[in-house]
Amino acid sequence: MDAEAVRERAGDLPAEPGVYQFLSREDGEDERVLYVGKAVDVRDRVRSYADPRSERIRQMVRRADGVDVAVTDTETQALLLEANLIKRHRPRYNVRLKDDKSYPLVQLTDHAFPRVEITRDPDEGATVFGPFTSMGQVEVVVKALRETYGLRGCSDHKYANRDRPCLDHDIGLCTAPCTDEIDRESYRGDVESVERFFGGETGILADPLRREMEAAAEAQNFERAANLRDRLTAVEAFHGTGGDAVSEAGSGRETVDVLGVALDGTDATVARLRAENGKLVERDRHAMEAPDGTDDPAAVLGAFIPQYYAERELPDAVLCPQRPAGTAGGQGEADDSVDAWLSAAGVDVRVPGAGREATLVDLAMKNARRSPGREDGTAALADALGLDRADRIEGFDVSHAQGRAVVGSNVTFVGGEAEKAGYRRKKLDDRNDDYESMHALVRWRADRAVEGRDDRPDPDLLLIDGGEGQLTAAREALADVGWDVPAVGLAKAEERVVTPDGSFDWPDDAPHLHLLQRVRDEAHRFAVQYHETVRDEVSTPLDTIPGVGPATRKRLLRRFGSVDGVRKASPAELRDVEGVGPETAARLDEAL
């Protein structure tokens, strides 16, 4: 776009808060997002790109073919939406955090009887509210809305072809439109009430909650009244900052996050130290990716803060080596949206000049500058496998009991440390075939990645728990989908790393072997944990035996692994299990 095209497009845009995206379609490719920005006045901000202030932005504008915008209610909401879009589209010209979460949204799906749910990836045609920063607060509010107005939260699969209401109806979370317990017109009225709440009418939910709380207190049901009081507090605070659910910093003790930043070409590192009551309690480092020509630490800090604190508790104060872009006095584009957001949440941003706080900032700067990968094994692993990098690793494992209750785990490690927000798990078809189950698990992950349904970045490496057979099954799944991600296996028996070109027998004290072992062991732990949960949920022959309740059944399955294992156990072995006496052991032996 040239300057005249930018001015012409800006003239059609609203003079309201919102987010704008510069788009490009090159060489017949699908439309790509080059840059995402936010503004109090979208029209004025986009118009300013007719005369870019840097060569980097000038280059971006030349490559752009168009501008798309999304209007928001407030500047704070624009800030959060910008962070979500940067995370989703990974635009080339934005400073972006490489590995982190996006902000949650609430959607009402485009169905005859809409579903309400919290999501990071809204359905096409859905009515979407947010984004929000406090996941806990959003969960409380959505549950309160469902208890008050009965909107369904089930999947389409569970909704279809039911002949009786599900448990959600029994516990008061749903009015069961699936079995015509409510007519469409009445349900639509409840949907409109939910839309009005997210539109800012707090009383439409707060008033019925308050009445129920007072009734519970009058009936001396004080536990219920206290629960409703806490829910009412969350609901009333939900719109307290101009339509956004911004987490409160006040937690009864002083927490301070100290940030340091280091730039090396297009790579940036932000180190974070957390201090509570003057004592350091956490240290971590985060990789940022900056476009060519970005050499401004303020811009890196201004991008890091909203992207990092998605779903995380904000501290009471943030100490920085200089004012982040987007705060009063910060460099970069002329807005103070980060400042407004942090101020509304009660967070103080400080740039200390001397004293203990300045010493902490110096320490954070040293942490940011230290050689990456030296301690976490990622650089050594990349070198050993011939990869450009191995900062982000996803591990996969399958767990089952002789082909029953088959589940898969998918864990994420970033910079050598577990990233719990990146964990996923999946129920698989029951089959006693580890290779087929691994193929199905990796195929599921690859499908989601290729179709854009997974909000996590593509990993640098996949680690398969197993040897050549499991790795071959995983690689076939990747080839079926066309997801080009390197994969290796790690078998527990010999601790040999299996690759498509052979295997490695690394020294026992090699940091890159230790890294793979940590990923493999965590994938195994997560799979077994989920398998036990699924196994305990399914009906078994044990359920029909007198004297065997849910707790005893769980202990039996954990001890012997499966119903078949219980069947093979002797009466004496059965009696060793807590809760199984001689009579119960005899019944088990006879029934099985």
What residues contact residue 388 under an 8 Å CB cut-off, 6+ apart? 382, 460
Strand partners, 464: 396, 489
| Predicted pLDDT at 560 | 78
Residues 164, 277, single domain; the answer is no
* Residue, of 290 and 361, whose pLDDT is higher: 361
What b-and-e string marks burial along 107-134, b requiring 16 or more CB atoms within 10 Å of the CB? bbbeeebbbbbbebebeeebbebbbbbb
Closest CA to 495 of 464, 517, 523: 517
| Predicted pLDDT at 424 | 94
The CATH number for 82's domain is 3.40.1440.10
Residues 47, 176, single domain; the answer is no
Q: Which domain holds residue 231?
A: 109-238
Question: Within a domain: residue 245?
Answer: no
Q: Please identify, among 73, 97, 121, the residue that sits at the C-terminal boundary of a domain.
A: 97
Question: Within a domain: residue 224?
Answer: yes
Structure tokens that stand for 440 in this block: 């199905």
Alpha-carbon gap, residue 214 to 527, rounded angstroms:
45
DSSP line for 323-349: PPTTSTT-SSSS--HHHHHHHHTTPEE
Residues 155, 179, single domain; the answer is yes
Residues 196, 227, single domain; the answer is yes
Task: Specify whether the CB–CB gap between 308 and 286 falls below 8 A.
Answer: yes
Of 142-156, 277-291, 430-444, highest mean pLDDT: 430-444
Residues 329, 289, single domain; the answer is yes
DSSP line for 461-511: EEEEESSHHHHHHHHHHHHHHT----EEEE-TTT-PEEETTEEE---TT-H
Question: Within a domain: residue 103?
Answer: no
pLDDT per residue as tens digits for the range 532-541: 777 655 556 7
| Predicted pLDDT at 376 | 56
Q: What is the CA radius of gyration of the chain?
A: 27
Residues 347, 281, single domain; the answer is yes
User: What confidence category does residue 247 fall into, taking pLDDT thresholds of 50, 70 and 90?
Assistant: very low
pLDDT of 348 strictly over 90? no
The CATH number for 412's domain is 3.30.420.340
pLDDT of 488 strictly over 90? yes
pLDDT of 157 strictly over 70? yes
The CATH number for 553's domain is 1.10.150.20
Place of tokens 């004080």: 222
Using DSSP, state whether 548 is helix, strand or coil. Answer: coil
Residues 352, 297, single domain; the answer is yes
Question: Within a domain: residue 81?
Answer: yes
Compute the half-sphere exposure of residue 195: CA atoms within 13 Å on the CB side of its CA: 13
Alpha-carbon gap, residue 47 to 185, rounded angstroms:
46
pLDDT of 465 strictly over 90? yes
Alpha-carbon gap, residue 455 to 102, rounded angstroms:
8
Q: Please identify, among 493, 510, 535, the residue that sits at the C-terminal boundary of a domain.
A: 535
The CATH number for 353's domain is 3.30.420.10
Residues 264, 331, single domain; the answer is yes
Q: Please identify, among 496, 517, 535, the residue that sits at the C-terminal boundary of a domain.
A: 535
Residues 346, 385, single domain; the answer is no
pLDDT per residue as tens digits for the range 112-144: 899 998 887 777 778 877 767 667 778 888 888
User: What confidence category does residue 397 fall into, taking pLDDT thresholds of 50, 70 and 90?
Assistant: very high
* Residue, of 372 and 391, whose pLDDT is higher: 391
Burial of 490 (0-12, 13-18, 19+ CB in 10 A): buried
How many domains does the chain divide into? 5
Task: Specify whether the CB–CB gap between 299 and 331 falls below 8 A.
Answer: yes
Task: Write the secondary structure of 421-443 as one string of H (helix), E (strand) and C (coil).
Answer: HHCEEEECCCCCCHHHHHHHHHH
